Structure 1
Amino acid sequence: MTSRSSSGRTLMKARERFLEGGSADGIGVRDEIRASWVRSRQLAVAADRVEPAQVERPHAQSLLLDCARPVLQDVAAELADEPVALLLTGPQGVVLDRICGDNSLVRRLDTRRLAPGFTYAESSVGTNGIGTALETRRPTLVLGGEHFAGDLCVFGCAGAPIIHPLTSALMGVVDLTSWAGDANTLLLSFARSVAGRIQDRLLERVSKREVALMHDYLLACQHNTGPVLALSNELTIMNAHTQQSFDAVDQSALLARVGDAAGSAEPLTLLADLPSGQVVRLAYEPAFTDTSVHAGGVVRVQTQVPVAGRREAKVAPPVRLPGVVGSSAPWQRVCRGALDSRRRGEWLVLEGEPGVGKLAVLTGVHLAVSPTEHIRVMDPASSSEVDAWLESVADELDNPGPGTLILRRAHELPDEAVSGLSELLMSHLSRAGAPAPVWVAVTMDSGARSAALEAELLPHFPHTLEVPPLRRRLDDLAPLADHFARRFSRDQELTISDAAMNMLRRMPWQGNVEQLRRVLSRAVRQRRTGVIDVDQLPPECRSVRRRRFTVMESLERDAIVEALDTHDGNKELAAIALGMSRATIYRKIKGYGIHLDAS
């Protein structure tokens, strides 16, 4: 007992030290608790009291409640003489049900609003058995002083996630809460057991349609060595052959093409032109339950199908630019377009959000085409530097030999600099003829064009490319992260763990590649060899709160955004390019929350 009390006092001191602004490293706090404390602090959760958000009408999942309530009632009967509360929450941490036979514990839970209708996500109350289990998707035990909010330190709680048996979706958490002095690791074992019993009942109740579709899919995989897809309104599956044969953009196009067919109760054969240039035949077979209810369909994919009367599409080889990392289709399109412009001697404008890598593309293009020639990168002029800046530009344009001139952040130029630059470029072009000996490229932020830029500068540039933000090319995230880790560790044996990479993938990346560079730079300060794990990532990576799309949803969303960008927001043309109906693309734009410019 003395040892346990001493341990509790040590933990409370560690918590106080952390809340006062100190680090939780090396103070006897478990890794998962330390990571949760950091997330809670970054989310500005109150540490002295609990303030759970209240949901007026909790969205109770009927399937989860129907399956869980009999289990909870049976368990409550087993624990009738114990001071333990059983709680069930949804996937956002909203308490859906609570059963407790101990009146004193019930009263204390009520004062902490640990009751139906209140949210116990980490973002609401900090480290706790419910919210931390939801955040990590792992069974989690939080004892006494391990809670972030002081009001919860009287409790010990164990939360276990409830996972859908077929879709692997996180449905909620079952939590067992007791007094801190009575709680131990057995509470966590019991929570796991209860969650398992609920999942068993879920499996019994899984839709017969899902079971029928899964049966036909597995049968197709056994008798087919190529790519196979299965999909319904609730379920989408693709085998390893599909993932290996097609990149992310092509996978999205496949799903979009067969999405409309999934509602058909008749076999269909479709052709699809994929963004990579491949042409594939899709053989769709509907799936039915034993009572002849339509359950979706299974699609066998045959690649490289010749079409009568048309040439076979050629797949362009990937563009490799020195110092540039990325192989996703949106990034490759930009690299290829910039390289073509450089080879033709056509001046170029690169637009994009700050930090997307515009300068890296232009520098890589220069090194790929003319590595021995002169290159000059010039930052924008301030109002007081216009004359000197224009003189430097004139010197570069008058350089007798070929070379590259990159003018960064043109949107920051004052109007007098824009006018002067326009005159210099016009004079240079009239003297040099075509192609001009100096290749000029301009970078600017998206949506930052001034009237002066539109009227005076941009007419000198025949082509503009939009560089996609990092969140639209997440296929490039892992190679970029590895690139920065090697660079900052000076090519030491340094890798990034799967858990850390998953956390990086969840970030919105408003700062794009530059933000990733900063993140990895800070991580390498803590870990220079071995494996970068979640604990080495800066706090901004561990406090992300946004909707988590499935892999399939992310692929489809990115393909739709890419098609809309390619066709200037024209939904009908984007739908044709993706092989889906106009009604489908409208529905998916709304479902994914894709924002389009009013223009």
Structure 2
Amino acid sequence: MRAWEDLLTYRDLERTRSAGVRSEILESWCRSLELGIDALADFAPLDHADERLTQAREENAALRSAARLPFAKIGALLSEADALLILTDAKGMILDQIGDCRTQDAAQAIHLIQGCAWDEAMIGTNGIGTALRTGQPVVVHGSEHFCQGIKGWTCAAAPIRDPFDQRVLGAVDLSGPPGIFRPHNVALVAAVAREIEVALAERQEMERVRLLEAFLDTGASRSKTDGVVILDRIGRVIYHRQSPARRGCDLALGRQLIALSDAMSDGDIAKALPPPLRASGVNRLMLDGAFSGAALILPSNPRAALSAAPVAPTAPVRIAPRAGTEEEALLMIGTAPKYLEAMDLARRAAAAGAPVLIQGETGAGKELFARLVHAGSGRKSGAPFVTVNCGAISVDLFGSELFGHVAGAFTGAARDGKPGKFELADGGVLCLDEIGEMPLELQPYLLRVLEQRAIYRVGCAKRRPVDVQLVAMTNRDLGLEVETGRFRRDLFYRIGTVTIDVPPLRERGCDIPVLATHFNQRVAARLGRPPLTLDDAVMEQLLAYRWPGNVRELRNLFERLHLMSVDGQVTLEDLPRNMQTLPEPPAVPAKAVIEPDPVSLTDMECQAIRRALVSEAGNMTRVAAALGISRPTLYRKLKLYGIRRTYE
């Protein structure tokens, strides 16, 4: 209480912190001050309207239904316990409450009643509002409340999260006089919240199955190669099967693709789709006579998809050439969500000056991201960007290349000594390419440099401070290298403060036409001739090809086409032989049984998991990523459906 009085009087945060107030309570007090909450208020503002409560209950019907059984079980135990059990929505409005009658009468005095909002913006620090604000279970006891009039109460609250996308839907709160306080109250409300979430998950799974069945009942015209996306009532992706033309577009399960509503027609839904997506068919889905979602048909013809859904014009990111070099400016071109997310992460890592680990397949463009980190590092103009290929240096010369040496340090050493790459990169960025090739015996020295921010030349005990932002690149799975003992665990964690995964070109299907146009025009400009004209079949082939060499392979393809073309027209026969035939689908094992067309969501999930296991060669991390789910969820579904992890 004294700490609260001091904070209101002196507004001295450090003084209040030293009084021993819990950090979560102190942070909430500060938010309450910033919100202008009246600390002397005796009760929550009463903005009670039956219409508002009715509307909130209708909008949260699923939440109230899921809470009914847990509340019924616990409510019987609260009749003589001086406590109330409360359910709120995401805005803190009380939807339902049960419990002791005398406590309910006392709650009337502070407006702890149905229809009243108890978020922090209304009444400051309290169990309901603080749990919703932080997204964590919390106890607010007695004088820890911000407003004077509710300091005679104790409350424990826990947020309720949507099992599908983890957004906060509401909160469960246990409130009463200080005498009911027990440390385990928060465990009780957290258990109730989890039980509600389990009930919500079961309801959502049932709704997913019913939506799929409703879609199948529509008899929508589609081919087996068309993509299918099913959205729930608010526009979240609950199922998708992508066509080849849509690889690389972000249709992760749980992502809200559009803000879907009952008032939208089929045409409105089609117009609201993100630019990379254009549906050849849209079906509104009804359950029990009520609008409950929509199904989208994505055309399987890559050219048709391309013409129907032009890639959104996104300006390429230009990276200026390094000072003192004659290189051209570099362009980062892409609209795929994974690529844009990686670029955003690189910019933020650059601003923070943190070590960066860039992972990606050969030819995916890892050095572009390293250059983006350098360009956005905020260091002085002309700061050096030094690269070292760890796979091209012999073990004997590795230490000398990185840390430098003094005269006579070893046979063949430079007469006057030589600075290493760390010294040359001082004040800028040092890029270690193929970091996984670094000899194991030299890795401790790199770790020491990163921790001490200083180097010692070979043959010299003089400490030389360096200010370098390290960017490491690899096409290996460094996590696997650590597990097999080929890379130090402590160094892995040190260089991977920020890890950027550069998506391969096959996961950026919507970027292929833009990149193809760019390389076509760039080579044409260099050779002083018009850009090549590609047949429709060629573009289809480029979209269907797997691109093992990634962007580098696509660039080299246009170098070759310009040299080989005679009339400026590119046909399928002009492509390299390995690109002239459509890729065969993964071979079905001889012992496998050809699966029938799925008739339910469960069947489709089983097939999707089995196909992902085959296409990703059993790599569980890549399988989970391809399916848009976490590894624990993948393992749970394998057990649920009885699918063996082997893929042979």
- Per the normalisation by structure 1, the TM-score is 0.43
Of Structure 1 and Structure 2, the greater helix share is in 1
Larger gyration radius, structure 1 or structure 2 = 2
**TM-score (ref. length: structure 2):** 0.40
